[in-house]
Amino acid sequence: MSPVTPPEHFDLTGKKAMIVGAASPAAAAIARAYAEAGADVALAVLHADDSVMAAKRLQQEIEAAGRKSAVYVMDVTLGRNVQVTTRQIAKEMGGVDIAVCASDLFLGKPIAKTSDSELQQVMAYNFNAHYFVARSASEEMMRTGGGRILVLTHVLGERGLSNTSAYGAAHAATQNLVRSLSQELGPHHITINGISAGWMDWMTDRLDESDDDAGRAVRFTLARRAGTPEDLAPLALYLVGDGVGYVSGQIFHVDGGLTQHL
Amino acid sequence: MTLESFRMDGKAVVVTGSGRGLGKAMAKALAAVGANLVCAARTPEQIEATVAEIRADGGTAIAVPTDVSKSADVDALVAACVAEYGRIDVMIANAGGGGGQAPAEFFEATDDYFEGVLGTNLKSAFYSDRAASKQMVAQGGGGVIVNVASGTALRGNQQFAYPTAKGGVISLTKSASTMLAKHDIRVNCIVPGYVNQRPPNDEQESEIRRNRGVRVPVRRLGDWWELGPLAVYLASDASRYVTGEIFIIDGAGLAGGLAPVSFAPQHELGAAS
């Protein structure tokens, strides 16, 4: 393929992006970055609640920048719903070149107190959702000759931590989904990668408020601060440009160095 | 806002091993987003050619012949960057090389062979990271270091000394990131897989590359220029919350590897056992 210069790589003009879980701070920052780079952006929220209004405001912001945008409700717990909504997005936006899944549901509980229903929900939002989005998005991308899939995952998917057995296992599953699908989708010119977040500023409610030293998790980060949505957005842009076709099957940490030391 | 974070206007960047291949591609990419380059390698003619290409595109660059296996040379390289641009903001420690054929039997490798490969590939990265970080701290802190390892570091390989040295580069990256974070210096590492160093010379070479590419999950080898956007991401503020990380660019090779890429089991659900 012909060389792509950095300015060309970071230009998404004409690309159609589908952002699932668009109400999350990370997804919103990524949507803004893609729109800034020239892409049209479909915003899929997970529930028909207040998140729809938040997504509508983001849609207006994106449209004001001159891009096409629309809001959808996608029930990511149901594969069929993800498929139908993805097809609708492809039809209305003119394709799906880029799919980002930011679905996430945290649970911090000892295994003895975790109910069957809680385990199922954690698996549904942290793993099944990514599986369904990758399945439906890749189906659309195969029609058009390729694309980029990006999943947002968490460092707890590769490190043990008390009370996160369900959440960590679900994210571990998502991270291996990335590795497996990179092999399966590679011949179809579809890349799939993951961004693994550390302690981000919108996740501070995950830390135990009754713990006098709850800040220790952030202090364990080399950067000595929680990450922000804007810290994730540039990597999410790098991973979907035209020049990134040789990067696939990888989980990249945006964690301020959290996972890189003893 | 996000796009601006990839700009490097006025940043002083050293790229070792930038006379050809991936180093040259990274130097040109960084110049294309506004960085001022110092191109280093042993062969003056090659880095002068890189500098000429950057200047022809409207960029700023100088050539500083350097043997990265000698620490005094590397210290002089950083001093040359400071003399030219007043500071150093980014060190891309890319220089390295295979070190020739390893002996067929592991136990026949000589001290000279092993130490030579470590010198070119591991000590060189330490010298580069040390010289750059020392200057970065002296000028008030803040900066970026990018080391370049190899996918062979993460899997066994019968060239053993090269993967061992590159494995050391990955560990160096992680440990240096823990020591330099307090100075606001980030250290990351690029891990390339099978990447062509230049355009093919003829159709025969293209054919060889196509045949080798079939063994990569994305069904092709990488190309030199594909390192450009990654170098820009890692060297710029775009990666401000990323340190100690390895960035594998290998066509999904390391994500697989339990079987040849064409192997895809077909099996319907049976009873669980």
pLDDT at A131 over 70: yes
Residues of B in contact with A201 (CB under 8 A): none
- Contact at CB, B244 and A222, closer than 8 angstroms: yes
pLDDT at A132 over 90: yes
Residues of A in contact with B6 (CB under 8 A): 6, 10, 234
- Contact at CB, B225 and A4, closer than 8 angstroms: yes
- Residues ≥6 apart with Cβ < 8 Å to A130: A101, A103, A151, A153, A174, A177
> Does residue B82 contact residue B14 with C-beta atoms inside 8 Å?
no
> Does residue A90 contact residue A96 with C-beta atoms inside 8 Å?
yes
- Contact at CB, B242 and A248, closer than 8 angstroms: no
Counting beta carbons within 10 angstroms of the beta carbon of residue A100, is it exposed (0 to 12), middle (13 to 18) or buried (19 or more)?
A: buried
A162-201 residues touching B, CB cutoff 8 A: 178-179, 182-184, 186-187, 189, 191
Instruction: Give phi and psi for A67, each to the nearest 5.
Output: -100, 160
Contact with chain A for residue B239, Cβ under 8 A: yes
For residue A36, give the nearest of B2, B225, B244 by CB distance.
B2
Angle between helices B161-180 and B111-118 (to 10 degrees): 40
> Has B127 been annotated as catalytic?
no
Instruction: Give phi and psi for A255, each to the nearest 5.
Output: -140, 15
The residue in chain B having the minimum alpha-carbon distance to the alpha carbon of residue A38 is B3
- pLDDT per residue as tens digits for the range A189-248: 999 999 999 999 998 777 666 777 767 778 889 999 999 999 999 999 999 999 999 999
The ipTM, to two decimals, is: 0.93
- Contact at CB, A183 and B261, closer than 8 angstroms: yes
- Predicted confidence at residue B108, as pLDDT, reads 96
The one catalytic residue in B162, B194, B233, B241 is: B162
- pLDDT per residue as tens digits for the range A64-86: 999 999 999 999 999 999 999 99
> Does residue A202 contact residue A229 with C-beta atoms inside 8 Å?
yes
Q: What is the mean pLDDT of each run of 10 residues along chain B (273 residues)?
A: 96 98 98 98 97 98 97 98 98 89 92 95 98 98 98 92 97 98 98 97 97 96 98 98 98 93 90 90
- Predicted confidence at residue A220, as pLDDT, reads 86
